[in-house]
Amino acid sequence: MKSIALATFFVLFCTLASAQLRITSPNGGEIFDSGTTVTLRWTGTAFPDSVTIEYSMDSGVTWTEIVRNWQQTTYQWLVPGTPSNTCLLRVTGPNRASPGGTIFLRDTTRPGTYSHNSIDLTNDGTLAVIADEDGFVTVFNAVTGEQITRRRVQGPTGSGARVVRAVLSSDETFVAALTESDSVVILRMPDLSILDRWETGIPKRVPLEDRWIATQPGGTRIAVSSFTHTRTYERNGVVVADVATLNTSSNTCVDWTPSGDRIVASSGAQGHVLADATTGGVIRSYPTPSFYGFVSPNGLYLASQSKNTQAVTIRDLATGTTVGTVPSGAGLLPFGIAWYPDNTIVRNAGPSGGRLERYAIDGTVIDTLTVQPFGFGSTTFNADGSVIGGASGGFSVVIRVAQPPMRDQDVSDAVWTIRSPIPADSALLSIDTVRTTSVSNLSIPVRLSPRNATVLNGATSLDIDLSWNSTVAVPHGATPVGTSIAGIRRITIRVPVVPTQDDIVGELDLAAALGNDSTTMIRIDDVRGVVDPTMIKRFDGKLILTDLCQQGGVRLLNGDGTAAITARYVEPLLECNWTTIEDGVHEIHLCTTTGEQRTLWSGNVSHGDHFTSVDPGALSSGIYMILVRTPTMELHYPLMVIR
């Protein structure tokens, strides 16, 4: 979160309606028989909330109402008689509006004359962390206005008592507070128990010399600027880097780039420098004297405020080129700029500083976020910009802006099927649709119903021919291997006519693999074992890998790091093309899922590209691991064997 700070605090809270309603069934892949009764289920509503339930048979082009004003979270639905394999369910809940209102945040145990110097917000905008002039850090509930806890970290009242600024860590587990005496206090969230305290070691010129503290995005390091130094520290106070080029002038501000590996240090005399946060080395200089500089959320731009004119200049961070200018104006305070989460710039303006104006990076005015009768001395935003924190006078306030009503609604994640009713003399043979992740074992039910169908009279078992994309799934366990030709696996299974459980007559044990697609149909190609197989209706199944993209293309296994390997399936040998930047003994081992290990190749090599042919032997189809050992590393890669 990017923030600007001066005195006291208020929050503009824009609550956004969120769709909490969630369909659980049918949610994709289910098959329902026409004329049967099924249970529709969803979550996220409670009595007396009512919903409207609809279904579509054309992937959402048209909708048919099932029921409205239903006040439960389940509904017994008679499946219609028209078959379709592109069905969706839609459940629409009540209108949810965000009411407006104002909440004042006050510590009633202390005088209201103590100014708040900074405010930071949690990403969801529910908590506010405030640093004040009296040496306290306080956590408020930014929704209700309740004071949760406070901790004195500097004091007593008087010269040098203030907490300059308190900011949340990127993971919101701790607060880093910079005090007037140039110490940093680390406090745990949200109880504010003190975890650590250390001195910055940076001398100050006068008691109210400008200072700044910022926490590292995605890390735990802390950056501090004060008069002659800008430094980065570990959380325990160990100095990591010192930006030496600014050690002769007033350091007024420091900010991190979103990547967390660089900082922008600001000087009222020398301008800004972009520096490596670990070495302190200067990467680029921006020489215009500027009090404050902040990096955009996307890391592409630098907003700097001129020391002399208070005008805001937007620069390309990589080149230093000016891309836009925001003019100065009455009430524009020295701290009065901040980045909005969408990479637009916000400034404090207006006669009293109570006007927040938003600009594009080229300096074009976009809109006014809010106008208030009190000035803004501090401005910060939560992650999506729906909550704005600000400062005004000697009080704190939360302003909720009313939002228009929004419908709470959910639609099935994927299509499901309504199939025709089964004639009395017919039977239905089907394979389930299953969702899973790659490189996992699973069992897919094979179903046959009804068991008393005329067509099954005299039969004891059925022989079923199945086929699927052989790169997506491999036979496992008791499932026969069959053949794999031109990327199609074909097997024959025998199942009993009498189900073992419900209508399940068998299971396909498969190992999901890293194939060339994220989905494969499991097709029923033929059925034998009855007089008239045409009287057995067939419904193919589907295997869906939820963790793979759907763009297709063979997925070769590439490793990153000191060593890399690409495995391709070749008969009769396994080709291993690999690259290493190390010299010495390298080994390639084959491991089973039970921990067994066999050395495929070992040798002393130099850095570079290598080609090795290894014989995997009589391995059965399944998932294995390739273990690559280098002189300093051990790498693992999944391997799929297809016979």
Q: H/E element holding 141? A: strand 136-141
480/437 same-domain check: yes
Whether 494 maps to a domain, the answer reads yes
| One-letter identity of residue 260 | G
| Max mean pLDDT range (41-50, 100-109, 402-411) | 41-50
- The domain that holds 28 is classified in CATH as 2.60.40
- Report whether 335 contacts 8 (CB < 8 A): no
Is residue 17 very low, low, confident or very high in pLDDT (cuts 50, 70, 90)? very low
Kindly state whether residues 541 and 429 are assigned to the same domain.
yes
430 shares its domain with 535: yes
Neighbour-count burial of 570, counting CB atoms closer than 10 A to its CB (0-12 exposed, 13-18 middle, 19+ buried): exposed
The Cα 539–Cα 499 span in angstroms is 17
Evaluate if residue 557 carries a pLDDT over 70.
no
pLDDT of 334 > 50? The answer is no
Check residue 209 and give its pLDDT: 55
The stretch 552-563 carries a mean pLDDT of 38
Instruction: Quote the mean pLDDT of the chain.
Output: 79
Same-domain pairing of 95 and 35: yes
The whole domain housing 458 covers: 422-545
Sign of CA dihedral 143, 148, 149, 155: positive
pLDDT, tens digit, 9 for 90 and up, residues 382-416: 887 777 887 666 666 666 655 555 567 889 988 89
Which DSSP state fits 189? T
Q: What is the pLDDT of residues 185-227, one digit of tens each?
A: 999 999 999 999 999 888 765 554 578 999 999 999 999 988 7
Same domain, 539 and 467: yes
Q: How confident is the model at residue 508 (pLDDT cuts 50, 70, 90)?
A: very high
Residue 555 within a domain: no
How far is Cα 84 from Cα 479, in angstroms, rounded to an integer?
31
pLDDT digits (tens, 9 = 90+) for 609-619: 777 766 655 56
| One domain, residues 533 and 597 | no
629 domain residue, yes or no? yes
Highest mean pLDDT among 99-108, 353-362, 390-399 belongs to 353-362
**116, part of any domain:** no
Residue 323 pLDDT more than 60? yes
pLDDT value of residue 14: 33
Do residue 471 and residue 586 come from a single domain? no
pLDDT in tens, 427-471: 888 898 888 887 788 899 998 877 667 788 888 899 999 999 988
Domain-terminating residue out of 390, 411, 432: 411
Tens digits of residue pLDDT in 258-309: 999 999 988 767 788 899 999 999 999 887 777 788 999 999 999 988 766 6
Asked whether residue 578 falls in the same domain as residue 511, the answer is no
231 closest CA partner among 220, 244, 218: 244
Q: Tell me what the mean pLDDT of segment 28-49 comes to.
A: 82
pLDDT in tens, 146-191: 899 999 998 655 556 788 899 999 999 999 999 988 899 999 999 9
Task: Note the pLDDT tens digit of each residue in 113-154.
Answer: 678 788 898 988 888 898 888 889 999 988 888 899 999 998
Whether 45 is in a domain gets the answer yes
Percent over 90 (pLDDT), the chain: 28
Residue 532 lies in a domain: yes
Q: Is residue 108 predicted with pLDDT exceeding 90?
A: no
Q: Which of 150-164, 236-250, 493-507, 544-558 has the highest mean pLDDT?
A: 493-507
Q: State the pLDDT confidence band at 6, using cuts at 50, 70 and 90.
A: very low
Q: Which amino acid is at 247?
A: N
| Number of domains within the chain | 3
At 298 the pLDDT is 94
- Residue-level pLDDT at 624: 73
* Mean pLDDT, rounded, for 336-342: 86
- Whether 457 and 529 share a structural domain: yes
User: So what's the pLDDT on residue 207?
Assistant: 52
Per the CB < 8 A criterion, the answer to whether 134 and 112 are in contact is no
Q: Which residue has the higher pLDDT, 370 or 8?
A: 370
Contact yes or no for 307/263 (Cβ under 8 A) = no
In angstroms, the CA 521 to CA 4 distance is 56
Instruction: Indicate if 509 and 611 belong to the same structural domain.
Output: no
In a domain, 492, yes or no: yes
Please check whether residues 532 and 567 belong to one and the same domain. Answer: no
278 within a domain of the structure (yes/no): no
CATH code of 630's domain = 2.60.40.3080
Cα distances (Å, whole numbers) of residue 556 to 54, 232, 471, 576, 629: 43, 42, 12, 11, 20
Amino acid 283: pLDDT: 92
Task: Decide which of 387, 411, 435 is a domain's last residue.
Answer: 411
The distance of Cα 280 from the centroid of its chain, to the nearest Å, equals 31
- Is residue 46 scored above 70 in pLDDT? no
Is residue 7 scored above 60 in pLDDT? Answer: no
Mean pLDDT to the nearest integer, 221-245: 89
Tell me, yes or no, whether 538 and 584 share the same domain.
no
**C-alpha–C-alpha distance, residues 55 and 57, integer Å:** 7
Task: Tell me the residue ranges of DSSP E strands in 532-596.
Answer: 536-539, 541-545, 563-568, 574-580, 584-591
Segment 325-342 shows an average pLDDT of 68
